[in-house]
Amino acid sequence: MSKTILITGGCGFIGHHFVEHVYINTDWNIVIIDKLSYASNGFERLRDTGCLNADRVKMFTNDLINPIPEGIQKEIGKNVNYIVHMAAETHVDNSIKDPKLFLDNNINSTLNLLEYSRTLPNLEIFFYFSTDEVFGPALNDTLFKEWDRHKPTNPYSASKSAAEQICVAYENTYKVPLMIVNVMNAFGERQHVEKFIPLCIKKIMNNETIEIHSYPDKKRSGTRFYIHGRNIAAAVLFLIKNGSIGEKYNIAGEKEVSNLEMAQLIAGYMKKELQYKMVDFHSDRPGHDLRYGLDGTKLFNMGFSLPLNFEETLRKTVEWTLKNKKWLEE
């Protein structure tokens, strides 16, 4: 009998890449639960990939801040083998404006899903999808390992850290078969325009000035490790097949790139002049960190390698986005 995987947030940016990857690379039945918030852009991402009405895909609309209704549970059935919990409120700026929304959503959704998982007799893995931000700022060249101490600096990262701890508690207390993954900055096709890379594409296309977050001296910009959504999808599926219950894994970006360098790369691919100004957002906006860092050695030592190259996927993302400008609309 074919396996069944339940993916929350499957209409979101990383979620839809993972749905597509599972659909192409397995014969599993796919169940998606998504509340279709503004970040999901409706079913458009799944429609673009051809997965929305595929024969092995079931789609349910539900806000996991509440328990999964009995009717949806009945439709899903009890033969769920894997749960991959990707659904979350993720935008740091929004978490600073409305922290209660983020804490309610990211913690309660995880708690409700954990409770639901306890009703599934064939569950093999509860896979919690977390962020590099739970560790806080990575000063100098720091790269955090999986079990390093958390030090979240904003409501978003605090909500993800708290949800991780609840997952660990459910593993210890109720033997939920847990795996946790921490992920770095994702990019790729169909990303919401509030994120830095599509925002750069839009501003460069419109000859607008880009604000580059910098250190107080306004000479050095903040940095991120970027990784394409399809690389993340490949890593998650690899871990489902090869990871160990009770373990945490870091999915590290291939290359550390400064905000200014990223904007310059995008402008270069677009063959347009970059207009920018360095802005010391960090000092004026508590909760924003200029650098995060994860040590991905553990995953790579298991034999995983990133299937896609950073520069090539960035160039293709820029080209694809310019051909599909609807994804640059608010």
If you ran DSSP here, which 8-state letter would residue 64 be given?
T
**Look-up: residue for tokens 């009995």?**
70
Q: Are 144 and 295 in contact (CB under 8 A)?
A: yes
User: Of the listed 20, 34, 132, 254, which one is catalytic?
Assistant: 132
Structure tokens at 262: 């990223």
Residue type (1 letter), 147? W
Count CB neighbours of 207 within 10 A: 9
As given in the structure block, the two tokens for residue 158 are 């605090």
Q: 274: which 2 tokens?
A: 């970059």
Evaluated on CA atoms 297, 299, 303, 307, the torsion sign reads negative
For residue 31, what are its two tokens? Answer: 């169940």
Q: Does 289 qualify as catalytic in the annotation? A: no
Q: What is the DSSP string of 274-327?
A: --EEEE-HHHHSTT--S---B--HHHHHTT---SS-HHHHHHHHHHHHHH-GGG
Q: Is 269 a catalytic residue?
A: no
Residue pointed to by tokens 């429609």: 47
In the chain the first and final C-alpha atoms are separated, in Å, by 43
Is 261 labeled as catalytic in the residue annotation?
Answer: no
Annotated catalytic residue, options 133, 146, 256, 289: 133
- Taking residue 157's Cβ as centre, other Cβ atoms within 10 Å add up to 26
Q: Which of 301, 323, 47, 105 is nearest to 205 (CA)?
A: 323
Bridge partner residues of 108 (DSSP)? none
* Residues labelled catalytic: 132-133, 156
